Amino acid sequence: MDFEALKKYSALHPKPAGLTLQYGTAGFRSKAEQLDHVMFRMGLLAALRSRATGSTIGVMVTASHNPEEDNGVKLVDPLGEMLHPSWEEYATQLANAEEQELQKTLTEICQKAAVNQQKDASVFLGRDTRPSSKKLSQAVVDGVSVLGSQYHDYGLVTTPQLHYMVCCQNTRGQYGKPTLEGYYQKLSKAFMELINKSPGSGEGQRHLKIDCANGIGALKLSEMQPYLPKEVLIHIYNDGTKEKLNHLCGADFVKVHQKPPKGLDMKPNERCCSFDGDADRIVYYYTDTAGHFHLIDGDKIATLISIFLKELLAKVGQTLKMAVVQTAYANGSSTRYLEETLQVPVHCVKTGVKHLHHKAQEFDVGVYFEANGHGTVLFSKAAENTIRQLAKEEKDDAKKEAAKVLENLIDLINQTVGDAISDMLVIEAILALKGLTLHQWDAFYTDFPNRLLKVQVADRQVIETTDAERRAVTPPGLQEKIDALVKKYKFSRAFVRPSGTEDVVRIYAEADTQENADALAHEVSLAVYHLAGGRGAPPQP
Ligand code: G16
């Protein structure tokens, strides 16, 4: 390591003394002006991680669903997964080391993680459309370069595209070509083959309105459009030319507020969906003829995909083990439907794609979705090989056809991480193949009335949770209070947890009526405010 160069470059990206930031649910997130040193240091860390794994590592500059003024960084591991938890700790140490401790901290990480500094290193970079992203991404380049690592800067890409590139690179092209063209070609080819099999194929066009949250999704969808079949007409809204990123639009806004985004005009029964700021989440919605808004969130997406996969797996006659992974935010009605009606095992894990992804890897076919629309499907290598072999060699025509559909799905799904573009195409293909309208899909089950709220506290880390975040362990008395409040309402539950991407505590409540869910969520938010050091004025109903 060239410590002189390190010192020189680090001085160009100084750490504000005393500032500490935590590696959160999906990397670091903060106000953009606080992040220059974090980016430089994550460039350093990516180079070390690359040497430790002997693989290319990804660095994505984005704060996803957060406001435009924020920014953040997500690190991508060799197969396109989120950074391994053992390295999250190193990331936090490195980000928070004061200037004079930087060299020592780096040396310690190299020792603990047995990094061979003679090895080559390679880093892939990407960034979202935030005004601050370009400069912050240059800070990553400085960090990567000062440790002598190679890098390839993809510039503006969606987060899942970067995950995809990293996986393609490290599997030496087995997963696909590590180029945007390769991504568009692989997905559109699989999509085309699926759509051509649908009963309505050739009978006119399918329209879909997409709210791109004024973010990167708009750019990349436009690029992909020429690759898509003419039967599928996508209409892009909130493309970032007029309004601010994520402002009153995007998947997070639609999910939390349960209402349409600004800037997208909806006619009854039109198919609409929203991406989030870096296009790794998607939710669908429509209004009925009476003008009522209907949200189809990640839980319903998981259900649609599970139904379809279960039918196909039954047709190919394979006893592949399938399961669904959710978080505590999953609507109770979805869990019940999956377990009781569909008879698919469901597992609940902590919030964060890394936790869902990890659990889903335990099954032949693991479907994971957060209610907020972040999710994908994982196929084990063995399951994928079996399916591909059946698609090629099976004698029974019906079985062979089902295997081919599964094979196309495997190619269409971005198995590295939740991907709004890929998920949208998967959903469109399933709806077309099954001849389903959004109304029919929505009617699979009825969500229990629910409410999501946020409360600001002085230090959100005072709340510690257990049981996949469904119970609070600290501060003392909070869980007892929540239990007492929940008892007041029928068919109710509630939980609280500190966000790992925003400076807030999140509150979730379900009850028998919307009024009761709202009341319960409000009462729990007051309990958090009073027992966990609320900031500002108490929450209002
Ligand atoms: C990230 C994570 C998601 C998580 C979300 C909210 O999404 O990737 O798994 O659900 O943050 O996390 P929290 O409740 O801890 O703030 P994104 O789309 O913002 O990167």
DSSP 161-191: HHHHHHHHHHTTTSS--SSHHHHHHHHHHHH
Fold held by 3-156: Alpha-D-Glucose-1,6-Bisphosphate; Chain A, domain 3 (3.40.120)
| CA-proximal residue: ligand 1, atom 20 (nearest) | 64
**333 labelled catalytic:** no
Q: What is the pLDDT along the chain (541 residues), one digit of tens a residue?
A: 788 999 999 999 999 988 999 999 999 999 999 999 999 999 999 999 999 999 999 999 999 999 999 999 999 999 999 999 999 999 999 999 999 999 999 999 999 999 999 999 999 999 999 999 999 999 999 999 999 999 999 999 999 999 999 999 999 999 999 999 999 999 999 999 999 988 876 667 889 999 999 999 999 999 999 999 988 899 999 999 999 999 999 999 999 999 999 999 999 999 999 999 999 999 999 999 999 999 999 999 999 999 999 999 999 988 899 999 999 999 999 999 999 999 999 999 999 999 999 999 999 999 999 999 999 999 999 999 999 999 999 999 999 999 999 999 999 999 999 999 999 999 999 999 999 999 999 999 999 999 999 999 999 999 999 999 999 999 999 999 999 999 999 999 999 999 999 999 999 999 999 999 999 999 999 999 999 999 999 999 9
Coil/strand/helix, residue 349: strand
Strand partners, 472: 465
- CA 538/CA 536 separation, integer angstroms: 7
Q: Is the CB of 372 under 6 A from ligand 1?
A: yes
- The CATH code belonging to domain 450-531 is 3.30.310.50
- The CATH code belonging to domain 182-294 is 3.40.120
What φ, ψ does residue 184 adopt, rounded to 5°?
-65, -40
Residues of the chain with CATH 3.30.310.50: 450-531
Interface predicted TM-score of the whole assembly (ipTM), two decimals: 0.96
In the block, residue with structure tokens 């109770």: 332
What φ, ψ does residue 350 adopt, rounded to 5°?
-65, 155
In ligand 1, which atom is closest to the CA atom of 352? 9
Note every long-range contact of 185-189, with CB atoms under 8 Å and residues 24 or more positions apart, other chains counting: 185/227, 186/411, 187/224, 187/227, 187/411, 187/412, 187/414, 187/421, 187/422, 187/425, 188/224, 188/227, 188/228, 188/229, 189/411
Q: Is the CB of 22 under 6 A from ligand 1?
A: no
- CA 482/CA 250 separation, integer angstroms: 31
Handedness of CA 99, 104, 110, 116 (dihedral sign): positive
Coil/strand/helix, residue 112: helix
Coil/strand/helix, residue 278: coil
- Is the whole-model pTM more than 0.95? yes
Q: Is the CB of 352 under 6 A from ligand 1?
A: yes
Q: Is the CB of 255 under 6 A from ligand 1?
A: no
Contact status, residue 348 vs residue 334, Cβ threshold 8 Å: no
- CA 375/CA 378 separation, integer angstroms: 10
Fold held by 298-442: Alpha-D-Glucose-1,6-Bisphosphate; Chain A, domain 3 (3.40.120)
Contact status, residue 239 vs residue 263, Cβ threshold 8 Å: no
Catalytic annotation, pick one of 64, 198, 306, 333? 64
CA of 65 to the centre of ligand 1 (A): 8
Residues of the chain with CATH 3.40.120.10: 3-156, 298-442
For 466, counting Cβ atoms within 10 Å of its Cβ (0-12 exposed, 13-18 middle, 19+ buried), the class is exposed
The sheet that has 293-296: what strands, in order across it?
A: 232-237, 206-211, 272-275, 282-287, 293-296
DSSP assignment of 431-476 equals: HHHHT--HHHHHTTS-PPPEEEEEE-BS-GGG-EEETTTTEEEEST
Q: Is the CB of 64 under 6 A from ligand 1?
A: yes
In ligand 1, which atom is closest to the CA atom of 370? 10
Q: Is the CB of 68 under 6 A from ligand 1?
A: no
CA of 419 to the centre of ligand 1 (A): 13
In ligand 1, which atom is closest to the CA atom of 500? 15
In ligand 1, which atom is closest to the CA atom of 29? 19
